């Protein structure tokens, strides 16, 4: 059994916030499915960084103008009595007001004994502020207030840009939150309607949905017919026709006719709530690559603090440089070593890939399993309802008698099946369509079929056994060939003459062929698991070019078959309908529940495919590979940048005139962060 990785933890991208006041990720209540708490939190953070940035920018202009080093650089003299105190006062506002997110972040990280990015930024600005303030009060050196102001401004700008990226990456979740309407037309006992808030709807309530309105909650159609657009929920682009007894999903849009539905799921039980919960869990769930990034960020923090200390000691003791130069080097090392791009590298990719997955109709429940999908070697498919449609469909009409047309044979059989609840009867009725008549008489032939009068004629729909017993003559080879394809054949007898036969099969999905072809192109083995007989299983396997078949497998034996494939040393995905395949899905390295639909068998698989489309398994693997590739690119950029930048910041190339100031260090660090954010946003599933 795979380890569960659905628990919450603090992402590095959220370490920007004031977690000392609001430990958001740890205390986030998953019972709140509105998504607004999460959204509003990030929105407030974005507005906070934006507000502080504009204030700091406004204050930075006079700070730069009053700084002696800037005046020397511009060869101007704007000094006046008391200017240094104004400079100190303005810089104090920048330090305490502009730097507050970083200072509070430092406190929070130290409380958790997890020094990281905020620790570094806070240390860098504190060193610059304390040193400059000491100079104001008589300590010999240069004022670094302008460095402090530019650093705080650039860091606030970088964080503002990052948090906007985090918000846009979570857009799929926010769109889901907006799907449900605010009000619904509840049908009263007397047939009239009353407008009520959606929150007041209870199980069993009847609701009228007019054309163009959104469906307020999951339910069953009790009256009316319409086409419903479920694209935002299921990814199915074509509107779906809904009639009496059909299920509808809350959030879908009713397009044409009016529908009256009976609510059967509200609140946390609804499909939309489950989808939103999955998206949240996926964005919060721990990934192995994330762990790697967190460990790297922690060690980089230790390295940065050590490098800062070494830089200070080396320049102080061995070069005789003045303290202001030494402090400049120390401050720059601590700024440039901030592993902010590293901390953002993985969470942003996670957020983007989760959104892409949701918009493509598959929902990631376990990020560790999702990341493993790129290394899959074998994909096991359940047959019925996964590779096939899972319903009996008329595939052939055999005509043994010139007195009847194919259509007549079908219509007579369908008329007799009018009241049948059997899957075969339903399949025949569906194929026949309109024109089916009610039988005048009806009788069941125990174990052999049914009989009755249709249009004054005695009609029987019977099994092969009945035909053999009564010695009817028919082309046996043709029937046997169809039977060998795993199809069920029923015979139609009209007025004691064998008129023909109707063959029904569980039709193979067209998307299954393409999915298996593409999996083979990716170098994966495809295995089929089914409870069907060997003959039927082998026919489907041959049609789909499947590598390995397990037939006549009982539900409780499916997990053992998954173990058998794993025993061959392969990383295995199991794809099934998420209900009777539960043990097998749990046993597999990656459990993929296909066609969960509004039943939302969300507790079964590591990944939930909303549509009954095996091609989504291919897309899942492709997205896993693309996501991992982006993570590696971001990690390489973030760590590679630090490896090069820290020695430059420390001044190892000072002899050759190459030196990085704290402001340039801050620009480069923010630039690397923005590049990592842009790179994450470029993740696509073509």
Q: Which residues are annotated as catalytic?
A: 382
Instruction: Determine contact, residues 479/463, Cβ cutoff 8 Å.
Output: no
- Residue 579, Ramachandran bin (φ over 0: left; ψ between -120 and 50: alpha; else beta): alpha
Distance of CA 178 to the CA centre of its chain: 17
Instruction: Determine contact, residues 485/506, Cβ cutoff 8 Å.
Output: no
What strand order describes the sheet that includes 240-242?
240-242, 226-229, 253-254
Number of neighbours of residue 409 by Cβ within 10 angstroms: 23
**Secondary structure of residue 589 in the 3-state scheme:** coil
**The token pair that represents 348 in the structure block:** 């942003």
Among 62, 126, 51, CA closest to 96: 126
C-alpha distances in angstroms, 52 versus 55, 58, 60?
5, 10, 12
Among 603, 555, 553, CA closest to 578: 603
Instruction: Determine contact, residues 241/202, Cβ cutoff 8 Å.
Output: no
For the chain, what's the residue count? 686
CA distance 67 to 324: 14
Please work out, in degrees rounded to the nearest 5, the angle formed at the alpha carbon of residue 188 by the alpha carbons of 184 and 193: 45
Instruction: Determine contact, residues 478/398, Cβ cutoff 8 Å.
Output: yes
**Secondary structure of residue 346 in the 3-state scheme:** helix
C-alpha distances in angstroms, 661 versus 90, 132, 290?
21, 16, 31
C-alpha distances in angstroms, 306 versus 317, 322, 650?
16, 21, 11
C-alpha distances in angstroms, 479 versus 486, 504, 536?
11, 12, 15
Among 286, 308, 302, CA closest to 117: 302
CA distance 664 to 396: 76
Q: How do beta strands 548-550 and 525-529 pair?
A: parallel
CA distance 300 to 277: 34
Q: How do beta strands 183-187 and 247-248 pair?
A: unpaired
CA distance 425 to 414: 7
Alpha-helical (H) ranges within 98-144 are 100-111, 117-136
Backbone angles phi, psi at 484, to 5 degrees: -65, -15
**Which uninterrupted H or E stretch holds 264?**
strand 259-265
DSSP secondary structure letter of residue 419: T
- How many angstroms separate the first and last alpha carbons of the chain? 33
Among 257, 188, 267, 271, CA closest to 225: 257
């Amino acid at each position: 059994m795979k380890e569960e990785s659905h628990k919450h933890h603090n992402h590095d991208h959220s370490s920007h916030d004031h977690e000392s006041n609001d430990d958001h990720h740890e205390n986030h209540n998953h019972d709140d499915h509105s998504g607004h708490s999460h959204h509003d939190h990030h929105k407030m953070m974005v507005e906070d960084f934006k507000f502080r940035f504009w204030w700091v920018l406004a204050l930075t202009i006079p700070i730069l103008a009053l700084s002696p080093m800037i005046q020397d650089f511009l060869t101007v003299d704007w000094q006046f009595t008391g200017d240094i105190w104004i400079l100190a006062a303005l810089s104090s506002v920048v330090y305490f007001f502009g730097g507050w997110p970083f200072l509070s972040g430092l406190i929070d990280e130290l409380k958790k004994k997890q020094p990281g990015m905020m620790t570094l930024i806070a240390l860098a600005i504190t060193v610059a502020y304390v040193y400059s303030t000491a100079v104001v009060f008589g300590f010999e050196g240069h004022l670094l207030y302008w460095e402090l102001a530019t650093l705080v401004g650039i860091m606030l700008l970088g964080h503002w840009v990052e948090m906007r990226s985090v918000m846009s990456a979570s857009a799929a979740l926010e769109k889901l939150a907006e799907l449900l309407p605010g009000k619904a037309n509840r049908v009263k006992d007397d047939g009239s309607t009353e407008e009520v808030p959606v929150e007041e709807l209870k199980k069993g309530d009847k609701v009228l949905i007019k054309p163009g309105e959104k469906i307020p909650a999951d339910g069953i159609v009790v009256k009316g017919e319409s086409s419903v657009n479920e694209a935002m929920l299921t990814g199915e682009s074509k509107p779906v026709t809904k009639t009496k007894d059909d299920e509808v999903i809350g959030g879908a849009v009713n397009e044409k006719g009016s529908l009256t539905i009976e609510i059967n799921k509200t609140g946390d039980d609804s499909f939309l709530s489950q989808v939103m919960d999955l998206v949240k869990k996926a964005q919060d769930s721990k990934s192995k690559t994330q762990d790697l990034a967190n460990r790297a960020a922690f060690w980089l923090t230790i390295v940065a603090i050590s490098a800062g200390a070494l830089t200070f000691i080396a320049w102080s003791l061995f070069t005789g440089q003045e303290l202001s130069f030494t402090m400049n080097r120390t401050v720059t090392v601590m700024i440039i070593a901030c592993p902010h791009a590293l901390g953002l590298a993985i969470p942003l990719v996670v957020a983007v890939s989760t959104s892409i997955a949701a918009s493509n109709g598959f929902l990631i429940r376990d990020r560790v399993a999702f990341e493993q999908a790129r290394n899959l070697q074998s994909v096991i498919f359940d047959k019925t309802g996964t590779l096939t449609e899972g319903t009996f469909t008329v595939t052939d009409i055999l005509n043994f008698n010139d007195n009847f047309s194919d259509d007549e044979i079908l219509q007579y059989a369908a008329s007799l099946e009018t009241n049948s609840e059997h899957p075969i009867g339903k399949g025949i009725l569906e194929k026949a369509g309109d024109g089916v008549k009610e039988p005048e008489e009806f009788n069941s032939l125990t174990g052999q079929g049914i009989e009755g009068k249709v249009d004054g004629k005695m009609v029987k729909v019977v099994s092969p056994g009945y035909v053999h017993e009564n010695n009817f003559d028919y082309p046996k080879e043709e029937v046997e060939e169809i039977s060998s394809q795993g199809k069920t054949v029923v015979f139609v007898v009209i007025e004691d003459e064998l008129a023909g036969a109707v063959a029904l099969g569980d039709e193979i999905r067209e998307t299954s062929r393409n999915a298996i072809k593409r999996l083979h192109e990716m170098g994966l083995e495809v295995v089929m698991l089914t409870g069907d007989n060997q003959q039927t299983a082998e026919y489907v396997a041959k049609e789909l070019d499947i590598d390995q078949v397990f037939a006549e497998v009982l539900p409780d034996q499916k997990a053992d078959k998954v173990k058998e494939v794993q025993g061959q040393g392969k990383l295995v995905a199991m794809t099934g309908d998420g209900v009777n395949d539960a043990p097998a899905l749990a046993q597999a390295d990656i459990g993929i529940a296909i066609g969960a639909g509004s039943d939302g068998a969300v507790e079964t698989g590591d990944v939930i495919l909303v549509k009954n489309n095996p091609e989504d398994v291919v897309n899942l693997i492709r997205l896993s590979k693309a996501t991992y590739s982006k993570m590696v690119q971001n990690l390489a950029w973030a760590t590679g940048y630090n490896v090069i930048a820290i020695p430059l910041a420390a001044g190892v190339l000072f002899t050759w005139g190459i030196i990085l100031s704290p402001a340039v260090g801050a620009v480069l660090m923010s630039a690397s962060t923005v590049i990592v954010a842009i790179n994450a946003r470029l993740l696509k599933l073509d």
